[in-house]
Chain A
Amino acid sequence: MTQTSTIARGGGHPSAPSRRHTTRPPRGSGLPNGAVPYVLLLPGLLIIGALLLYPLYQMVDMSFHKVGLRQIKATNPAPAEFVGLDNYDTVLGSDLFWSSLRNTVVFAVVTVALTLVLGTLVGLLLNKLGKKMSTFVIIGIMAAWATPPTARAIIWKWLFDPSSGVANWALNLLPDGLSRLLFGRADWSEYPWFNDTFTLYLVLTIAVVWASFPFIAVSVLAGLKSISAELYEAATMDGSTGFTTFRKITFPLLKPVFSVLTVLSIIWDFKVFTELYLLNGGTVNRDAFNLSLWGYAEAFSNPPKMGLGAAIAVVLTAILMVITFVYVRQIVKTEDVR
C-alpha cells in the first residue's frame, strides 16, 4: 500500500545516510564537502524562521502588549504599550473563554472519537472486501476527503438548509411517533439548524467526521497491509483464533499508527476554523466561538485587539503543544531521526 514505507523497510535505516564513506564526491565543485548540507538547508531554514518561528515569537510578545490600529499602520506605526499579563487576565476572566474552551474541547473529543471509530471500522472493512469492491469504496471516500474545507462547509450548510435541505426532508420521512420518541419533535419543516450552538456543532461534527474518516480508514488499511501474512500463519498454526489474533498481533502492531492518528486528529479538530466560520456565518454569533474563532474575532474586530487575540492564540498553541509533544516523541521513537 504505502510505497515509500515498503522501500524503507527493506532498507533498514531509511532516513539515516550511510555510515560508510567509501566513495567521496568529487572535489573542486566549489564548496568544501562539510558545507554542502548547510547550504542546501539555508533557504528552507530562512523560510521556516521568517514565517513560522519569528511569528511564533511575535505572537507571544504581542500577547503582553496592547496592539491596536495605530500599532499596525503600514507607515510610522506607534510603539505597542506593554501591559504585562492584562491580556491574559481579560482572556481568563471572560465568559467567552469558558464557552470557547468548552466548545473547543467537547467538539474535539466527540469528533476525534467518532472519526477514529468510524475510520478504523471502514479500514477493517476495506481489508476484508474484495479488490474491486475495496477500490470502489476507496475512490468514494476519496471524494469526501478531497472536498476543500470551504466547499465542505457550504455543502453541509445546504444539506441542513431549513426550507429545502435534504436533512429536514429525510427526518420528515420518519414516522411521527418514532421521531417524537427519538428527538422530541415530529415536524422538521423549517427546522433552523444553525440558530442554536448545539445543533450548529452537531452539523459541524458530522461535516468534519465525514471529511476526516477517509484518512483514518486508508491509514489503518495501510497498517493492516504492512503486517506480514507469515505472522498470521504462524499464529494460526499455534492454534490462535479470531479475537486473540487481533489482540495479540494486529492491535500491538498497529498501536503506533493509532497513536499518531489520534494526535493528528486532535490537532486538526482542536483548531477547526474554516467550517465553523462558514457554518456560523462569520463572527456574529459569539456563543458558538471556539478558541480559534474567538482569537480571530478579537484580533480583527473593530477596533482590532491584536494583543488580546494573540493571548488567545498563545493559550490554544500551548494546549496543542502539550498534545504535540506526545506525537513528536512517538515519531522520534519509531522513526530514525538521528
Chain B
Amino acid sequence: MNPLVRKRINRAALNAAGVAVFLFAVFPVYWMVATAFKPDDQIFTTSFIPFPSPPSMDHVSRVLTKGVAGHSIWRYLGNSAIVALSAVAIGAVFALFAATAVARFRFRFRTTFLILLLIVQMVPAEALLIPLFTMVKRLGLYDQLPGLIVINVGLSLPFSVWMLRTFVAAVPKELEEASWIDGASRFTTFWKVLFPLVAPGLVATSIFSFITAWNEFIFALTLIGDQGKYTMPIALQFFVGQRSTDWGGIMAASTLMTIPVLIFFLLVQRRMVSGLVAGAVKG
C-alpha cells in the first residue's frame, strides 16, 4: 500500500479512537445535564431522546427555588462553600508554613516528617471516621459546620504540604539571599520575595483542597444531622433517598454541584498530576 495512504489511515484510526474515548468520558456528564433540562415526559421514556427538545427550565428552577429536603439548594451550596473555603483558607496558611520549613531548612526530624506525611495520606479517612465522630460529639461540635471545616483541613493538609514543598523548592534560594543582603528581615523576605513566587503553586494546591472538601461525603454524612446544615453531597443523597424517581430534579441538583468543580479542575489538572505522582515522573 502507498505509505502516504497508510499514514492517513493510521491517523484516521487514531483520531477515531480519540473520539471514542472522548464520548465515553463525556456522555455520562452530558446525560446528567441533558436530563436536567428535559421535561418529565422526555425523561420517563423507554426511547432514547438525545437532546432536550425543547429544553425546559422546570427542574432547574424548581430545585433552585423550592429546593430539596425543605431548603433551597442555595442553602446547601452555601454550606458547602463555607466549609470548603474555610478549610482552604486555614489549610493554605498551615501548608505554606510547613512546606517552607521542609523545603528551605535542614533540621532534625525533617525526613521523619516527610515520611509521616506520606504515611498519613494513606490512612483511609473511612477508618478515622469512628474516633473522629466520638471526638466531635464530646467536643459538642456535632451538627456544627466548624467541626466539618477542621476535619477537612486535616484531610487535605498532608497532601497540600507534600505538593507545595516542590513549589517552594523551585524558587531559587539566591533570590532570598539577595534580599537578606539588601537588609530585608526574614518576614519581609518571605512576604515580598518567596510568597509572590510561590503564589501560583499555592493557588493550585488550594484548588485541590477545595475540591476535596467540596466533594467530601462520609464525614458530612455522619457529623451533620440537621438538614439546614447539610452540604451539597449530603443534600443530594438525601434527595435521592427521598424522591428516588424525581430524576429531573436530582440531575439538576447534581449539575449545580458539579459545575464549580469542573471549572476548577480544568484550571489545575496539570499540577494535580505532578503533585500526585511527584517523584515518580522525575528523572
Residues of A within 8 A of B (CB): 1-5, 7-9, 11, 14-19, 22-26, 28-29, 34, 36-38, 40-41, 43-45, 47-48, 50-56, 58-59, 62, 67, 71-74, 77, 122, 125-126, 128-130, 133-134, 136-152, 154-159, 161, 163-164, 166, 168-170, 189, 210, 214-215, 218-219, 222-223, 226, 256-257, 259-261, 264, 267, 270-271, 273-274, 277-278, 281-282, 292, 295-296, 299-300, 306, 309-310, 313-314, 316-317, 320-321, 324, 327-328, 330-332, 334-335, 337-338
Contact = CB atoms under 8 A, between A and B. Distances in A.
A265 B219 CA distance: 22
A309 B124 CA distance: 14
Nearest to B132: A55
Contact of A306 (B116, B117, B130): B130
A314 B124 CA distance: 10
Contact of B180 (A25, A54, A163, A271): A25
A335 B117 CA distance: 14
B105 A2 contact: no
A148 B215 contact: yes
Contact of A223 (B261, B276, B281): B281
A53 B120 contact: yes
B21 A335 contact: no
B83 interface: no
A196 to B, nearest CB: 18
B8 to A, nearest CB: 13
Contact of A50 (B154, B218, B240, B280): B154
Interface string B247-283: 1001100100110011011100111011111111111
B101 A321 contact: no
B274 A5 contact: yes
A158 B247 contact: yes
A59 B158 contact: no
Nearest to B100: A40
A25 B185 CA distance: 8
A43 B94 contact: yes
Given A299-B130, A328-B118, A331-B279, 17 more contacts: A1-B270, A18-B173, A37-B101, A54-B131, A55-B132, A58-B134, A72-B138, A125-B18, A137-B22, A142-B265, A143-B29, A150-B254, A155-B29, A210-B25, A270-B124, A278-B237, A295-B127
Contact of A314 (B23, B127, B154, B237): B127
**Chain B CB within 10 Å, residue with most, of A4, A126, A170, A264:** A4
Contacts of A137: 18, 21-22
B45 interface: yes
B127 A43 contact: no
A181 B30 CA distance: 31
B14 A125 contact: yes
Nearest to A314: B127
A123 B8 CA distance: 21
B95 A44 contact: yes
Given A72-B137, A142-B265, A226-B283, A29 B187 contact: yes
Interface residues of B, number: 126
Given A44-B94, A48-B158, A52-B123, A37 B166 contact: no
B183 interface: yes
Given A8-B166, A155-B254, A282-B241, A51 B280 contact: no
B170 to A, nearest CB: 4
Interface in B156-180: 157-158, 161, 165-167, 169-170, 173, 176-177, 180
A24 B113 CA distance: 24
Contacts of B94: 43-44, 47
A327 B122 contact: yes
B191 interface: no
Nearest to B221: A277
Contacts of B29: 143-144, 147, 155
A132 B8 CA distance: 17
B244 to A, nearest CB: 8
B130 A309 contact: yes
**Chain A CB within 10 Å, residue with most, of B123, B129, B130:** B130
Nearest to B184: A26
A313 B127 contact: yes
Contacts of A9: 282-283
Given A158-B35, A260-B277, A29 B186 contact: yes
Interface string B95-111: 10110111111110011
